[in-house]
Amino acid sequence: MANMKQQIKRYKNDNEKRLANNAFKSSLKTAIKNVLVAVEEGNKDKATEAYNIASSKLDASITKGIHHRNYASRQKSRLSKLVNTLN
């Protein structure tokens, strides 16, 4: 553990950010999983709704600096291909 006041504060803030980032990553994974489940069920309405949520979360992960923009665009492309296979 750090001794200086500023280092203690930095340690506390870093832990809070880490926990928030982990929670956000978990919710993003759940959103992506919801798209995959809806596609497996063959429910296009549910899949498009889940895709919109996942897409917005992916965009938010870019602005928050959690993920790289190429990761987000790759995931969005992959999910949109799956959703578009439904008729």
Instruction: Tell me the CA distances in angstroms from 14 to 20, 34, 60, one per residue in order.
Output: 10, 30, 20
- In the chain, what are the domain boundaries? 43-87
Burial of 81 (0-12, 13-18, 19+ CB in 10 A): exposed
- The pLDDT tens digits of the residues spanning 2-31 come to 789 999 999 999 999 999 999 999 999 999
Establish how many alpha carbons lie within 13 A of residue 23's alpha carbon, considering only the half-sphere containing its beta carbon: 6
pTM, to two decimals: 0.86
H helices present in 4-68, as ranges: 5-41, 44-63
pLDDT category of residue 87 using cuts at 50, 70 and 90: confident
